[in-house]
């Protein structure tokens, strides 16, 4: 018989408080395994629709990865109906009759335990562990409460202590909405995942009116073929954003604006930079067409009042790439190369397929082919392209 601890929750997002409880429970009760059980549709809680079950599940998996003896169970998360604990426990008993189950709840859930569906049945199927801080046990009040609930539902309840500082998912979501870091409250991998995919962030200002205005201006200023290319990049960037789970509106605006400065001639671009004090490198001096990325980023910021730094950066590096690109940098860089109107590029078909399987590899191949093209056509080489190529070469061959 194996002893299994179960920690349920919405985990939106999972945080160090959860991890701490899991660790303490494992230690104090000598579990063979601890199961994190992310809820699908929890019966008592409203859940944000902009965070998908897959995202919550992935965050749990990332967090639990380094925790020996713990794993994530996805039995509830894909259900389309509310998850009731008694049902899940019945399922576990059927699937694993040899196991003994311990269900962990927070101290606050003790007060509402009578409102859960079939609390007696839950008590039949598992020992209930109530997680609290040791300071809360000192005065005996909590133990009295536990005894009351235990008697009411004929269950077996036990207190476990966890000393982790106060942290709640609600507080973390609020911080993230304001683009504040929550690095200190979540495992490293979870923070990286949230940052990369910009989860819980309120994306401001990228609305339909602005999009209309930009489309109108681009149509007026850009050559027809360039405008078609722009739309191709926009849709491809959106498709990649769907594939790699990135906010669509940001990808769409990046695509729309990436070549917004392309209507300027080489001479005009140099003049524009001079006038607006945009630094011009030696390579750009020799090949002013490279400048449209920098100028585009400047225009996005000052003319279209885009404040999203990640978006501005993606426009800025869309021709040369850069080492350690953000997810949006890579999406735009790749979309620019593979959009459906592009015809002549070696390995284009391969890169199109690979872009949807392994974005880093696609970026590497594009950089490799771009360098080859620059060499063959005797154009001046931008050192950033070479640096980016070396970076991704090392990354991929590690
Ligand atoms: Fe461009
Ligand atoms: Fe482009």
Kindly state the average pLDDT of the residues 43-61. 83
CA of 227 to the centre of ligand 2 (A): 10
C-alpha–C-alpha distance, residues 54 and 184, integer Å:
23
For residue 294, which ligand has an atom nearest its CA? 1
Same domain as 137, residue 247: no
Residue 27's pLDDT band (boundaries 50, 70, 90)? very high
Q: What is the CATH number of the domain that holds 102?
A: 3.40.50.620
Q: Is residue 377 part of a domain?
A: yes
Percent of the chain predicted with pLDDT > 90: 78
Q: Are residues 51 and 188 in the same domain?
A: yes
Q: How far is the CA of 205 from the centre of ligand 1 (A)?
A: 24
Interacting residues of 187 by C-beta distance below 8 A, sequence separation 6+: 14, 16, 19, 62, 63, 66
For residue 342, give the CATH number of its domain: 1.10.3210.10
Please check whether residues 173 and 246 belong to one and the same domain: no
Judgement on whether residues 172 and 314 belong to the same structural domain of the protein: no
> Which ligand is the nearest neighbour of the Cα of 230?
2
pLDDT value of residue 165? 66
Together in a domain, 82 and 121 = yes
The rounded Å distance from CA 234 to ligand 1 centre is 12
49 CA distance to ligand 1 middle (Å): 35
Residues 125 and 16 in one domain: yes
Residues 192 and 224 in one domain: no
Per-residue model confidence (pLDDT) at position 48: 67
Closest ligand (CA of 339): 2
Residue where a domain terminates, one of 197, 228, 258:
197
Burial of 319 (C-beta count, 10 Å sphere; 0-12/13-18/19+): buried
Do 186 and 332 have their domain in common?
no
Given the structure tokens 């494992």, which residue do they identify?
26
Report which secondary-structure segment, H or E, holds 130: strand 127-132
- Give the list of residues 6+ apart from residue 140 with CB closer than 8 angstroms, or none: none
Q: Is the per-residue pLDDT at 44 higher than 80? A: no
Per-chain mean pLDDT for the chain: 93
Ligand nearest to the CA of 290: 1
Give the whole-angstrom CA distance, residue 247 versus residue 169: 21
The structural domain count of the chain equals 2
How far is ligand 1, taken at its centre, from the CA of residue 242, in Å? 22
**Which of the two residues, 331 and 202, has the higher pLDDT score?**
331
Residue 241 sits in the same domain as residue 380 = yes
Distance CA 256, CA 291 (A): 17
Which domain, by its residues, includes 108?
Answer: 3-197
pTM of the model: 0.87
Average pLDDT over residues 82-109: 93
Whether the pLDDT of residue 340 is over 90: the answer is yes
Q: Angle, to 10 degrees, between the axis of helix 208-221 and the axis of helix 248-257?
A: 20
Distance CA 80, CA 162 (A): 33
């Amino acid at each position: 018989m194996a002893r299994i601890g179960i920690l349920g929750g919405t985990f939106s997002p999972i945080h160090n408080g959860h991890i701490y409880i899991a660790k303490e429970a494992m230690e104090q009760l000598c579990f063979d395994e601890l199961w994190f059980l992310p809820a699908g549709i929890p019966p008592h809680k409203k859940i944000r629709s902009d965070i998908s079950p897959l995202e919550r599940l992935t965050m749990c998996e990332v967090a639990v990865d380094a925790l020996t003896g713990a794993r994530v169970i996805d039995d509830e998360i894909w259900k389309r109906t509310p998850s009731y604990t008694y049902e899940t426990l019945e399922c576990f008993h059927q699937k694993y009759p040899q196991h003994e189950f311990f269900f962990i709840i927070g101290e606050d859930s003790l007060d509402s335990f009578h409102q859960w569906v079939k609390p007696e049945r839950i008590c039949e199927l598992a020992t209930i562990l109530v997680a609290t801080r040791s300071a809360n046990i000192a005065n005996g009040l909590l133990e009295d409460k536990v005894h009351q609930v235990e008697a009411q539902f004929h269950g077996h309840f036990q207190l476990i202590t966890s000393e982790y500082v106060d942290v709640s998912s609600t507080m973390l979501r609020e911080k993230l909405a304001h683009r504040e870091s929550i690095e200190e409250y979540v495992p490293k991998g979870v923070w990286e995942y949230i940052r990369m995919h910009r989860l819980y962030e309120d994306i401001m200002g990228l609305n339909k009116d602005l999009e209309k205005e930009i489309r109108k201006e681009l149509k007026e200023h850009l050559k027809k073929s360039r405008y078609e290319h722009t739309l191709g990049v926009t849709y491809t960037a959106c498709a990649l954003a769907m594939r790699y789970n990135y906010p669509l509106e940001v990808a769409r605006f990046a695509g729309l604006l990436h070549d917004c400065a392309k209507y300027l001639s080489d001479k005009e671009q140099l003049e524009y930079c001079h006038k607006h004090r945009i630094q011009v490198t030696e390579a750009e001096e020799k090949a002013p067409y490279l400048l449209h990325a920098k100028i585009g980023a400047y225009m996005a910021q000052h003319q279209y009042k885009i404040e999203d730094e990640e978006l501005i950066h993606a426009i800025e590096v869309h021709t040369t790439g850069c080492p350690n690109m953000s997810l949006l940098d890579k999406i735009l860089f790749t979309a620019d190369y593979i959009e459906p109107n592009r015809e002549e590029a070696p390995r284009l078909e391969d890169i199109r397929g690979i872009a949807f399987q392994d974005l880093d590899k696609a970026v590497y191949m594009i950089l490799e082919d771009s360098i080859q093209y620059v060499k063959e056509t005797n154009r001046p080489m931008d050192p950033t392209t070479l640096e980016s190529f070396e970076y991704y070469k090392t990354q991929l061959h590690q």
